[in-house]
Structure 1
């Protein structure tokens, strides 16, 4: 929070008030009562997060369980793909990839290998949940060199 003499204070205050209003109007009235007297949005946000968060491990478990049981079923491939990528993206928010600690230029390939492994895991899970109608396409995709990314896999399936 900038002090009141900072040239950015007025802009900060407008944004802060806007975010406080959004938070206040979004939560249930009984919950809003515990933040109504707070003057800084980030303080309100942290208070609500600490008080009502279900915990990352519980959500990670739920996401992984949903992903492990997800199947295309009667859905179009597009719907199945969208649902699955939504869950993957949420899971990635909780479990970001490891970052490289190399000083100047990366030589360890940690980030790149992590992305590659994760991408392949996603593709395998996506393919395993498809209906049997896609058996021949799945086999072709699994035999491709180089192995395609998830968007290319999706593109091949909807052609």
Structure 2
């Protein structure tokens, strides 16, 4: 029979164990642990063990049982099953390094120490950089905020808070929330300088969701009062028409220099405040 080469598919074999599912002793997936695939292999092993309620044998949350304990036979059998998963899914040149270790936890920890390359730290660092460098850059507020929230969620998944003391945990959460408010405000476009300053003067500084709502309302107000787009970047022609001291075209017709948007606004009337150039749907007295 030909030797199995690196990356060959492992045939799925099932060994019946009394009192367990017929799948409990099957190999969890179809390729072996090599020198370069630890990250994928370990994730798939965790999923397989969790699905069968055996992850505690990897992490040590299901502790070893003394030989004279009534539960030793059951624990020893299940630990051997998990050890089998680990050892059967290794390349032959790696198998000899771990086969003599006594428990699944010992094998799991030894493999992790051998192959862990710090990639999680590198990814966490990249996410931290992205959280501080992300900018609005003319986008709508909700798109900018959604991108930041996605980065924060990835950070939380990679490094959850593990403090035991309730007071310390609360303090750390408050500090983290304030840092995210600073990241959000720092990335806003310059048109929001005023609302940014107002938020920073508040005591205490509001949470990130409230800050987002304050900035969003300011964005809507600017759209209504200034006629700019939701990105807060006025078109060049509109800026030219509103610049102080701007001169009309040489033919003397100032109306020909106005945008169609300005001309259309002249026809609007608000029945609520009796104002012009807007309607009740965008009235500042109603909507703020």
Per the TM superposition, whether the score is higher than 0.5 is: yes
Aligned pairs for 1:133-148 (under 5 A) are 133-148=191-206
Cα deviation code 1:58-80 (max 9, x no counterpart): 10111112122111002111011
> 5+ unaligned residues in a row in structure 2: which ranges?
1-16, 34-43, 50-84, 90-111, 218-288
Q: Computing the radius of gyration over CA atoms, which structure comes out larger, 1 or 2?
A: 2
| Alignment TM-score, normalising by the size of structure 2 | 0.38
User: C-alpha distance in 1, partners of 2:203/2:119?
Assistant: 40
Residue number in structure 1 paired with 2:150: 86
Q: Relative CO higher for 1 or 2, CA cutoff 8 Å, sep ≥ 6?
A: 1
Check the 8 A contact 1:97/1:111 in 2, yes or no: yes
Q: Which residue of 2 aligns with 1:100?
A: 164
Q: 1:98 offset after TM fit, Å?
A: 3.8
Aligned counterpart, 2:48: 41
Give me the TM-score of the superposition, normalised by structure 1. 0.66
Residue 95 of structure 1 and its aligned partner are, at CA, apart by: 1.9
- Residue 154 in 1 paired to residue 227 in 2? no
Closer, same or farther in 2 for the Cα pair 1:53/1:152, shift >3 Å?
A: farther
Equivalenced residue count is 129
Q: Are 2:138 and 1:74 equivalent residues in the alignment?
A: yes
Is it true that 1:132 corresponds to 2:190 in the alignment?
yes
Q: Name the SS of the counterpart of 1:134 in structure 2.
A: helix
Where in structure 2 are the equivalents of 1:100-119 lying within 5 Å? Answer: 100-101=164-165, 106=166, 109-119=167-177
Structure 2 CA distance for aligned equivalents of residues 134 and 96 of structure 1: 32
Query: SS of the counterpart of 1:5?
Result: coil
> Is residue 98–residue 110 contact of structure 1 (8 Å, CA) maintained in 2?
no
RMSD between aligned residues:
3.3
Indicate which of 1, 19, 25 corresponds to 1:5.
Answer: 19
Contact 1:98/1:114 (8 A) holds in 2: no
Runs of 4+ residues over 2 Å off in structure 1: 32-35, 50-54
Query: Does residue 121 of structure 1 match 2:185?
Result: no
The reply on whether 1:61 has 2:125 as its aligned counterpart is: yes
Provide Cα deviations, 1:42-101, integer angstroms capped at 9, x if missing partner: 369xx8xx6798721110111112122111002111011010111011111122224124
